[in-house]
Structure 1
Amino acid sequence: MTRPLHPSALVTGGNRGLGRAIAAGLKAKGCRVTIGARSEEDGRQAAAELGMAFVRLDLTEPDSYFDAVMQARGFDILVNNAGILNHGSLLSPKSDFAEAMEVMVAAPLDLIRLNVPHWRETGWGRIVNLSSGWGSFTQGLGGPGAYGVAKAALNALTKALPRDLPPGVKINACDPGWARTRMGGASAPLSPEEGADTALWLALLPEDGPTGGFFRRREPVGW
């Protein structure tokens, strides 16, 4: 089925950084965008500034995103952007492993599951998983804490899920590069808008576009 004229889109962590740039880019391309954020105050302020809808999403609280998707009756485009980055050792009792896996693997999979009925009905959908070079085995699974491990697991979902998704739905992961966000820091070489480019491309892929891939600067990269 062809793409809707004005696809609906949900961008998690859309109130700042890459998520905000992706949300703004999707709106500029004619999408009806909803941003999700854990902070209601920050999310509503960003949504008002961008002229789009807001839902409170705490990816450690399944009820919050279940309600958001059910009330919207599903989204055409799902951008799993929200993430956490901590610096404790994986072996520490204070490791962020459980939270990282919840936010960057379990919740994205739940959001995909919740949207499946909508995609079955419409016959069109796009899923973009914001990953990282730190989640790549070929690049050594870098980064602090559980970040790289969680991103690698998100990549694995991206690779495996095409076999289970309804026809007309594409899923891909992207490495946005090192961008100037709160997570990336002020010395990063890329603007949020530059970092958002590949995600925007994947969110609006044509019918003959790829699925189950991992991309940087719109080019395939090693898992």
Structure 2
Amino acid sequence: MARILVTGSADGLGRATADVLLSQGHGVIVHARNADRAKTLTDLVDRGATLIVADLSRRQEVLDAAHELEDGTTVDAVIHNAGVYSGPDVIPVNIVAPYLLTALLRTPTRHVYLSSGMHRGGHIDLGRLDWDGNKPSGSYSDSKLLVTTLALGIARRWAPAVLANAVDPGWVPTKMGGAGATDDFDLGHRTQERLVTDQGLTVTGGYWFHGQQQQPHPSAQDPDVQDQLLDALAGATGIELPRR
């Protein structure tokens, strides 16, 4: 059985994903951004999940969490589920934190990054982004185009040692999606669960929606854009993506 980190697992899709993986017998690391949010995970911890607390909008807390995870039991896979919809934390949480966890955690052989169909309306303008989150500098759509590009860039750089994929969970009824969301909630988390557990599934560099691969925005598939993003993230954080 695998040991899997699910970021943003205090509620919504992240919690459902962690719950299912735990029920399947996997070792699960659940994550909350603060101690109050962590209280909602008590039942999963009682069932054997490991808890990590870190505010992903604060870079030092991301670094501390990565070091804590590296010092513990091997992490086999990461589902980068945590995300925010608006405000200055969009870029730090939705793209910088996934990059740092990818670069710093040396043992995972599978990474799944939560994207969105809204990524198709995003733009990549690296020069105007505030990577530190001191001010709003990118929309939710922009961030999801960036994280999709990150996923495909990681897949290209680290193949075949690491499998990296992006998943659009659909417009599902969560706190972020709202009660009026029309997509199936369960379908919204099954794909990422399969991508980190199915040993017969060896696809990398895919963009998935409800179990099927689709074509993402052309920019996400452009190796030059992928390299520009990875270089910008390395420059902004001071942490290079290691060779695998």
Residue of structure 2 in register with 1:37 after alignment: 32
Residue of structure 2 in register with 1:46 after alignment: 40
> Residue 159 of structure 2 contacts residue 204 of structure 2 at CA under 8 Å; is this kept in 1?
no
- Secondary structure at the counterpart of residue 26 of structure 1: helix
Structure 1 residues 127 and 180, CA, compared in 2 at 3 Å: closer, same or farther? Answer: same
Question: How many pairs does the alignment contain?
Answer: 196
Residue of structure 2 in register with 1:61 after alignment: 58
Counterpart mapping for 1:93-104 below 5 A: 96=87, 98-104=88-94
Of all paired residues, the percent bearing the same amino acid is 31
Residue of structure 1 in register with 2:110 after alignment: 126
Residue of structure 1 in register with 2:103 after alignment: 113
For 1:22 and 1:60, the matched residues in 2 are separated by: 22
Aligned with residue 69 of structure 2, among 67, 72, 82: 72
For 1:10 and 1:62, the matched residues in 2 are separated by: 18
Counterpart mapping for 1:133-148 below 5 A: 133-136=117-120, 140-141=121-122, 146-148=139-141
Question: 1:39: how far off?
Answer: 2.4
Aligned with residue 165 of structure 2, among 160, 169, 172: 172
Residue-by-residue CA offset, 1:124-150 (whole Å, 9 max, x unaligned): x211101100012xxx449xx700000
For 1:113 and 1:106, the matched residues in 2 are separated by: 11
Question: 1:199: how far off?
Answer: 1.1
Instruction: Name the TM-score, length of structure 1 as normaliser.
Output: 0.80
Question: 1:208: how far off?
Answer: 4.8
- Secondary structure at the counterpart of residue 105 of structure 2: helix
For 2:161 and 2:21, the matched residues in 1 are separated by: 20
Residue of structure 2 in register with 1:184 after alignment: 177
Residue of structure 1 in register with 2:229 after alignment: none
For 2:76 and 2:62, the matched residues in 1 are separated by: 16
Residue-by-residue CA offset, 1:173-216 (whole Å, 9 max, x unaligned): 00101111100111223454331111111122325521011000
Question: 1:100: how far off?
Answer: 1.3
Question: 1:9: how far off?
Answer: 1.1
Unpaired runs of at least 5, structure 2: 124-137, 217-244
Instruction: Name the TM-score, length of structure 2 as normaliser.
Output: 0.74
Residue of structure 1 in register with 2:8 after alignment: 13
Query: Would you say 1:81 and 2:65 are equivalent positions?
Result: no
Name the amino acid aligned to 1:146.
S
Unpaired runs of at least 5, structure 1: 1-5, 87-95, 120-124
Moved over 6 A (4+): none
For 1:12 and 1:216, the matched residues in 2 are separated by: 20
Name the amino acid aligned to 1:180.
P
- RMSD of equivalent CA atoms: 2.0
